[in-house]
Amino acid sequence: MVKLKKCPYCNIDLQNIKNVGSHVKWCDKNPKRQDYLDTLKKTRNKSKLTGNKLKNRNDKIKKAWERGCYDNVDFGKGFKNKKHTDETKKLISEKRKKYLKENPDKHPWKNSDKFLSKPCELFKEKLKDNNIIFVDEFQISDDRFYSIDISFPNKKIGIEINGNQHYDKKGNLKKYYNERHNYITDKGWILYEIHYSIVYKKEIDLLIDKIKKYSLTQIELDLFKKQYFNRINKKKCCKLCGKEIYKTSTICSQCSVEKRRKVERPSYEQLIEEISNLGYCGTGRKYGVSDNAVRKWKKQYEK
């Protein structure tokens, strides 16, 4: 690499200058110097705040330092994995509630299509096709931001189309949704919780006919609730031991393990007696298993 002896822009001698590249880049007569300055300003001015806004922000930070807000902060570790205190959580919650009360349309459940339920929207379309008037996402109170999927406020009747995430393994409503249901019913409403699978059944047409035929106070949704919703709550029992199960299988996990065993195990008392008389190896030979298998049987019984 050839070292420059003179600056190509100002012709100054560069032999006594340590940083030759810096002088050439920032030379006053360099035509690209202004471009370098513009890019430097952009990188330094990352904040969009200017003028009074920037001054107000700096004043707030200065006052916070004076109040001692940063005295207990360990800046060496940063703010990663830090948790809010109970006081800050309460303050954030109050501010959030106040904001949503003043701006109900800004609620994330209402201003985003991300939370739309396809079965619920399909059921609403069927109601509209049958000229049934209802209120969509009706909020019954300002205290809580609960809204009902399909509601008839003049009759205080609501219909909720629920997915599997609303229920636990036993088919009951989870804690949050159960509290929500109780809150709405305590306000004098009749709320029907319907599993989304009903929407895709032919019997949904019968439900729509009932809504059209009778007044809303005489809607008998219990029939559909028994046929579909209660089948989620239907308790199943193991065919072998009678233990209550909630899965699609016909037997419980313990009976399934026992059913796959190739050798029928003796009772605990008989096993202990045979081990004392024949030993682990002799007992294993009697049942066609290894001595370690006999030890495992003993451990499982003693558990």
pLDDT in tens, 153-195: 777 888 888 888 888 887 888 888 889 899 988 888 888 888 8
Domain assignment of residue 238, yes or no: no
Are residues 131 and 208 located together in one domain of the fold?
Answer: yes
Domain assignment of residue 75, yes or no: no
Question: pTM score > 0.75 for this model?
Answer: no
Are residues 201 and 147 located together in one domain of the fold?
Answer: yes
Are residues 118 and 228 located together in one domain of the fold?
Answer: yes
Domain assignment of residue 201, yes or no: yes
Are residues 138 and 210 located together in one domain of the fold?
Answer: yes
How far lies 215's CA from each of 121, 199, 206, 212, in Å? 23, 21, 15, 8
Residue 157 in contact with residue 220, Cβ under 8 Å?
no
Structure tokens at 287: 């049942």
Domain assignment of residue 36, yes or no: no
Structure tokens at 205: 């047409």
Which of 209, 233, 257 is the C-terminal boundary of a domain?
233
The sign of the CA dihedral 131, 136, 142, 145 is: positive
Domain assignment of residue 162, yes or no: yes
d(CA 205, CA 123): 10
Indicate the DSSP class of residue 190: E
Band of the pLDDT at 247, cuts 50, 70, 90?
A: low
Q: What is the number of domains present in the chain?
A: 2
Domain assignment of residue 199, yes or no: yes
Which of 185, 207, 233 is the C-terminal boundary of a domain?
233
Are residues 148 and 224 located together in one domain of the fold?
Answer: yes
Which of 233, 251, 281 is the C-terminal boundary of a domain?
233
If 0-12 CB within 10 Å is exposed, 13-18 middle and 19+ buried, where does residue 224 land? buried
Are residues 194 and 289 located together in one domain of the fold?
Answer: no
* Cβ within 8 Å of residue 154, ≥6 positions away: 216
d(CA 303, CA 296): 11
Question: What percentage of the chain reaches a pLDDT higher than 90?
Answer: 0
User: What pLDDT score does 220 carry?
Assistant: 39
Rg (CA), the chain: 37
Chain centroid to Cα 198, Å, comes to 25
User: Is pLDDT of 92 > 60?
Assistant: yes
Q: What's the pLDDT tens digit per position in 221-235?
A: 444 344 444 444 456
Are residues 279 and 228 located together in one domain of the fold?
Answer: no
Residue 198 in contact with residue 212, Cβ under 8 Å?
no
User: What pLDDT score does 79 carry?
Assistant: 57
Structure tokens at 71: 């005295």
Chain centroid to Cα 114, Å, comes to 13
d(CA 64, CA 58): 10
User: Is pLDDT of 110 > 70?
Assistant: no
How far lies 108's CA from each of 104, 105, 142, in Å? 10, 8, 16
Phi, psi (deg, nearest 5) at residue 177: -70, -30
User: Is pLDDT of 245 > 80?
Assistant: no
* Cβ within 8 Å of residue 14, ≥6 positions away: 4, 5, 6, 7, 20, 23
d(CA 287, CA 233): 43
Are residues 162 and 218 located together in one domain of the fold?
Answer: yes
d(CA 291, CA 293): 5
The sign of the CA dihedral 264, 270, 273, 277 is: negative
Phi, psi (deg, nearest 5) at residue 185: -70, -30
Are residues 210 and 281 located together in one domain of the fold?
Answer: no
Are residues 129 and 223 located together in one domain of the fold?
Answer: yes
- Of the two residues 272 and 69, the one the predictor is more confident about is 272
Are residues 121 and 226 located together in one domain of the fold?
Answer: yes
- Of the two residues 34 and 225, the one the predictor is more confident about is 34
Domain assignment of residue 157, yes or no: yes
User: What pLDDT score does 219 carry?
Assistant: 42
User: What pLDDT score does 68 carry?
Assistant: 76
Are residues 174 and 219 located together in one domain of the fold?
Answer: yes
User: What pLDDT score does 281 carry?
Assistant: 83
User: Is pLDDT of 237 > 60?
Assistant: yes
* Cβ within 8 Å of residue 213, ≥6 positions away: none
- Of the two residues 113 and 220, the one the predictor is more confident about is 113
Domain assignment of residue 209, yes or no: yes
Structure tokens at 19: 């940083």
Domain of 290 in residue numbering reads as 268-302
Band of the pLDDT at 73, cuts 50, 70, 90?
A: low
CATH code at position 174:
3.40.960.10
